[in-house]
Amino acid sequence: MKGFTRGPFTGRHAAVIIVAFFAVVISVNLYMAREAITTFGGVVVENSYVASQEYNGWLHEAAAERALGWSAKAHRRGDGRLVVTLEGAPGDATLGGDAWHPLGRLPDRALKFDRQPDGSFVSEQVLPSGRWVARLEAKAGAKRWRTEEDVL
């Protein structure tokens, strides 16, 4: 150790090295914890075991919904109402859903939609400004299709 110091390696040197090491470790941990908390989307399941048992069923439902070939585009109008255009869905399709705030800062909002003459759907409820995720569910007879759309 003499090659790295001018004098003998003392307890003071050891203390400085240990304190510096733990300062770096604690700083990195605090930074990573802050990043994890501020970027978490807030999606959690009640019971992860039950969710794991239902996972294959969810995959099967998703494949059946994709096979329908329906799609949706959503945007917010100037008055705050949500406008959704369904493509590939039959003319008798109905639309419902809810909107949730990704960080959970605002309560979820149930959405009811009215069909417009042009075939689009407009929500009866006004969606407050900010980022929302709309969970949409379209039904036509026995067919059901679900999706999520970001609404900015």
| Local structure of residue 47 (DSSP, 8 states) | -
50 within some domain: no
Which element (helix H / strand E) includes 115?
Answer: strand 109-115
Torsion over CA: 150, 54, 59, 64 (sign): negative
Residue 109 contacts residue 123 (beta carbons within 8 Å):
no
Query: What pLDDT, on a 0 to 100 scale, did the predictor assign at position 77?
Result: 92
- SS3 category, 7: coil
Residue 24 covered by a domain? yes
DSSP alpha helices (H): ranges in the chain? 11-39, 48-68
Domain range enclosing 101: 70-151
pLDDT in tens, 30-88: 999 999 888 876 667 888 899 899 999 999 999 999 999 999 999 999 999 999 999 99
Q: How many Å is the maximal CA-CA distance in the chain?
A: 88
pLDDT-derived band of residue 2, with 50, 70 and 90 as boundaries? low
Domain presence at residue 59: no
What are 116-148's pLDDT values in tens digits?
Answer: 999 999 999 998 888 899 999 999 999 999 999
Least Cα distance to 96 among 81, 79, 80, 84 occurs for 84
Domain count, the chain: 2
Query: Are both 19 and 92 inside the same structural domain?
Result: no
CATH number at residue 131: 2.60.40.10
